[in-house]
Each structure stands twice: as structure tokens, then as C-alpha cells.
Chains A and B, each alone.
Chain A
Amino acid sequence: MASAAAAPVAVTGSGVVSPIGIGLAAFTDAVFAGRSAVRAHAIDLAGLDVPLVPIAAADFDAAAVTSPSRVPLDRATAMALVAADEAAHAAGLGDGSVAGERLGIYWGSGMAGASTFETTLRTVYVEHRRMRPTSVVTTMPNAATAELAVRFRARGAALAYACACASSAVAIGEAMRAIRSGAIDVAVVGGSESLLTPGVVAGWQAMRVLAPIAADATADVAARACRPFARDRVGFALGEAAAAFVIESIAHARARGAAWQWQLAGYASNCDGVHITNPDAEGQVRAMRAALADAGLAASAIGHVNAHGTATLAGDAAEAMSIAAVFGAHAVPVTSTKAIHGHLLGAGGAVELLAAACALVAGRLPPTANTASVDPAFAIDLVTGNARPAPQLRHAMSSSFAFGGTNAVLVASRCE
């Protein structure tokens, strides 16, 4: 007997702070319009050997956000709180219908407080100031997890996941498993990342994975710097964001009268176990197939893939090969929204799942902005130009393939 699909998990609230919009409405609008938030930024750091780097920053005032624990907040943690508030409000989390000990926090971040730590160390080494008493709790990897737990009085498991660019996808998937297992009923899940300080940006630039921007580039040219799966792809832009979801067992959502339009159907994670940066198509294929099996779906049931799609030479080549291996040549419409919101690192999996959910709910596929001509070596159906109508869309996949070799794949379904 074939194994039965594991139970789906309802997504009853979503929230987002991103370069392409704060709040679900603005985000959705930009995703379908393919509106890029990538700009050219000068980095104030001696020794950086390029004048400009592509950055997608969020129009976000972290100073306006108060810590539930009354300690200084890292910018990413402030974003996490705002995104999670939106998701919790949509889900009706504060209405007393969720027991705190049955509520968990599962949160992902690649480098968490690295940005604040860099800024703090700068004041210590350059200005000879003191480390603050709160410097440890502001920058620890589970800072956002802890603040969210206090905000929502969550007394189930509160776990922080760090697996580079798969962090939030893993956090969401592991929460889904915890709900299926009965360990908790509800979780606030997602991820946050804000690493736009000079030292961290310089680290990424040193790897030569950021799209180069000429000193005389116009704003329009800078906005098109990231071209996923294109013949002329040259790398990505760094972005900052947080995305949050309230997820819960179907039984729990029904019992408290919650409404939802889409649900999580499957999840898998594995590791290439090959190299710390080089992607490996074999590991990606195994992860996508395992996520399909977890959802109880055939590859042909998937109507849309939101790809990892970083626009690097090696990354896109491996992923295009993996997608064709799992789905067949040109068999499933693929989008990379990184073209417009940048590489969101630990927050990327959550934000891109949200973009995939936008497609499910609207029955439209967002375009891969900026890519005019797909690399002829790739046997994939890339959605380019304008959003594509997809009224029959039922199931979508979102993939995150991280440094460290961690692959995490989520499958989401529109509700009937």
C-alpha cells in the first residue's frame, strides 16, 4: 500500500516587511507587477574594491518598533515583530482562541544579529565605547524567536533555525512537522534577515556573487541588475526582509472558526553533503521529490515553482537541471522573484513561499523580472515579461538551496 500523504496544515495569517512592500497588499501588488526594489548603493568601507553594490532595502523604520522585552532590537528582529503582528492579526491570534502552551515559534535567520554586532564592535574598536549590557541578547541567533515568544505569550517550543538561505523554509517545514506530530497546535513561523551593514555586504561582494554595477549606471540599469536564469545573468542583489505566517492543524483552525485560503501540503529538507558553497543537482532533486512525496502529489500536479533562482552562473545552472529532472523539460512554469526583492538570505524561504501563495490565491504566476532571454542551456519554462494567468493552479512549490548544502522545499496548495 502506498503511504498516505501526511496531513496538510492551514495557513491562517500572513505578514511581510520587504523591499518591495510592507504588508501583504503592497507586496502582492509588486510581485505581480515585477517591480524591482534593487538600487545601487555605495558602501562606506575602506578596502572595498567596487564603487557600487546592488541592494534592495526596505522602507522600514526600526526605531518605531518597541521590544516586548524592552531591550534594543536588531533591525531584523524589528521587522520580524511587524511581519508577525500582521500575520497574527489576520489569524485572530490574540482573541483568546489559542492556548499559549500549544503555540510554538519556529523562526529562521542566516546571520541574525550580525549587523548589530558589526555596528557595536565598530563603536568599541573605533570610538572606544563599551559593549552594552544588552549586546548579547540583541544579537544572539534566537533573538527574534525570543521576542516573538514574548509578544505572543507562546509557551510551546520556540526554536531558531540557521541554515543560511534555507533557514526560514526549514523553520516553516519543521513547524509543520511539529503540528502534524501533535506536539503543538499552532505556530508563528517565518524568518527575518537584515545584513546591509558595510562589513557583511563587503563579505558577500568578496565572494563575487553580487551583480556588478557600473559607476555610471542609471537607476533603471541598477534595478535590472539581477536577472535569474538569463543568458546574461551576473549575480544577485542583497535584500532585507521578514515574512511570517500563522500555521495550525486543520482541526484546530476549524474548531476556532479560522478561515484560510491556502495550506502547506509538503516539506522536505536534506543536505548535498558535497561542498560548502557549490550546489549539487542530485541533492536538490532528492529534496524536491521528497517534498512531493510528503504532499502525496505527483510532479505533474505542481503548476508553479518559485525557484531559488539567485542569478549566479553555477546556482541557476544546477537548479535548472534539477527542475527539468523532476518535472520534465519545459514542463512547469518557473519564477524567481529574487530579481525584484533581492536575495533575502535567511528570510528568503518565507518571503518566496509568500510569493508562491500569492500565485495560488490569485490564480496568476508572477514574472521573473529583468530576464529577457533565458539561457538556452536551460530546459525550463521561465515566466518572463508579464504575470501569466493560471486559473487552474492548485499546487505550487518553493525551493531554497543554501550555502552549507542544505536544501529545503515546501509545497503549498490552494483550498477548494
Chain B
Amino acid sequence: MQSSTFAAISSALVEGFQVDAAAVSPESALDQLGLDSLALMEFVFAVEDRFDVRIPEDRLDPRQAGVTLAQLATLIDEAVALKARGNG
């Protein structure tokens, strides 16, 4: 996980979804942020748009219990790397 990726994800959460900054850490679980399933999907869309990538649906269901922000950041990093190799 790139620290810049995590920083971008946490700023999206705090600024776009009114999540308390104190509740945002790499270990935070998506389903524990106080967002409903619709807001979670919006959040993932917003993060994907920010990095101009798509995380395949079979790699991530943000509603699944226990998925952490670190895992999301790693998936973003992988998608960015894939795209940089021309396969994205």
C-alpha cells in the first residue's frame, strides 16, 4: 500500500462523506465507517475515479464484512500498476 494512496482515500472519506478523521486508519474496516451500502458504493466509485481505474467486481465487494482501507488501497495500487503496464 502506497502512503499517498491511503492519504487520498482518507481525504475522500473525510471531505466527501463526512467521516471523522479520527476513525480513519489503514486498519479501519469499510463496514465500520458508519456509511450505508449506497454510500460505500459511492465512496468506492469516487476513489476509482480519483485514480482513473476500476477494481474488478470479483476483487472487491465493499459491503463484505472486514474489508480494510489498507486492502482497498492495495487494490487501487494494483489497478494503477496494471494500467501503467498497458493492461488497464
Q: Do A and B come from one complex?
A: yes
A binding-site residues for B, Cβ under 8 Å: 66, 70-72, 129-130, 132-134, 137
CB pair B39 A71 closer than 8 Å: yes
Contacts of B39 in A (CB 8 A): 70-71
> What residues of B have a CB within 8 angstroms of the CB of A72 in the complex?
42
Docked complex Cα distance between A71 and B42 (Å): 9
Complex contacts, A130 vs chain B, CB 8 Å? 45
Q: Are A137 and B38 in contact (CB under 8 A)?
A: yes
Q: Which residues of chain B are near A71, meaning CB under 8 Å?
A: 38-39, 42
Tell whether B1 is near chain A: CB-to-CB under 8 Å: no
| Chain B contacts for A70, CB-based, 8 A | 17-18, 35-36, 39
Q: Does B23 contact A (CB under 8 A)?
A: no
Q: Which of B18, B35, B45 contacts A66 (CB 8 A)?
A: B18
A134 B18 Cβ-Cβ under 8 A = no
B41 at the interface (CB under 8 A from A): yes
Q: A137 to B38, alpha carbons, bound, how many Å?
A: 10
Contacts of B18 in A (CB 8 A): 66, 70
**Within residues 22 to 77 of chain B, which ones have a CB less than 8 A from any CB in chain A?**
35-36, 38-39, 41-42, 45, 49
Q: Give chain B's interface secondary structure class.
A: helix
CB < 8 Å A-B pair total = 21
Chain A residue numbers with a CB within 8 Å of B49 are 129
Q: Is the CB of B17 within 8 A of A132?
A: no
Interface SS of A by simple majority: loop
Please name all residues of chain B whose beta carbon is closer than 8 Å to the beta carbon of A132 when the two chains form the complex: 42, 45
Which A residues touch B38, using CB under 8 A? 71, 133-134, 137
Smallest CB gap from A129: residue in B = B49
Residues of B within 8 A of A133 (CB): 38, 41-42, 45
B35 cross-chain contacts in A, Cβ below 8 A: 70
Q: Write the nearest CB–CB distance from A133 to chain B, whole angstroms.
A: 4
Complex Cα distance A70/B13, Å? 12
A66 to B39 CA separation, bound complex (whole angstroms) = 14
Distance A129 CA – B36 CA, assembled complex (angstroms)? 23
Interface pairs (21), CB distance under 8 Å? A66-B18, A70-B17, A70-B18, A70-B35, A70-B36, A70-B39, A71-B38, A71-B39, A71-B42, A72-B42, A129-B49, A130-B45, A132-B42, A132-B45, A133-B38, A133-B41, A133-B42, A133-B45, A134-B38, A134-B42, A137-B38
Bound state CA distance, A132 and B40, in angstroms?
12
Min C-beta distance of A128 to chain B, whole Å: 12
In the complex, how many angstroms separate the beta carbon of B36 from the nearest chain A beta carbon?
8
CB distance from B20 to the nearest CB of A (A): 13
Bound: A132/B39 CA distance, A:
10
A133 to B39 alpha-carbon distance, docked (Å): 8
- Closest Cβ of chain B: how far from A55's Cβ, in Å? 30
Interface centre among A72, A134, A137 (most CB of B within 10 A): A134
Cα A71 to Cα B35 with chains together (Å): 10
Q: How far is the CB of B34 from chain A (nearest CB, A)?
A: 9
A132 CA to B41 CA in the complex, in Å? 9
Q: Chain A's nearest CB lies how many Å from the CB of B83?
A: 16
- 4 smallest CB-CB distances across A and B, nearest first, come from A133-B41, A133-B42, A70-B39, A134-B42
Q: How far is the CA of A236 from the CA of B38 in the complex (A)?
A: 40
Which residue of chain B lies nearest to A130 when distances are taken between CB atoms in the complex? B45
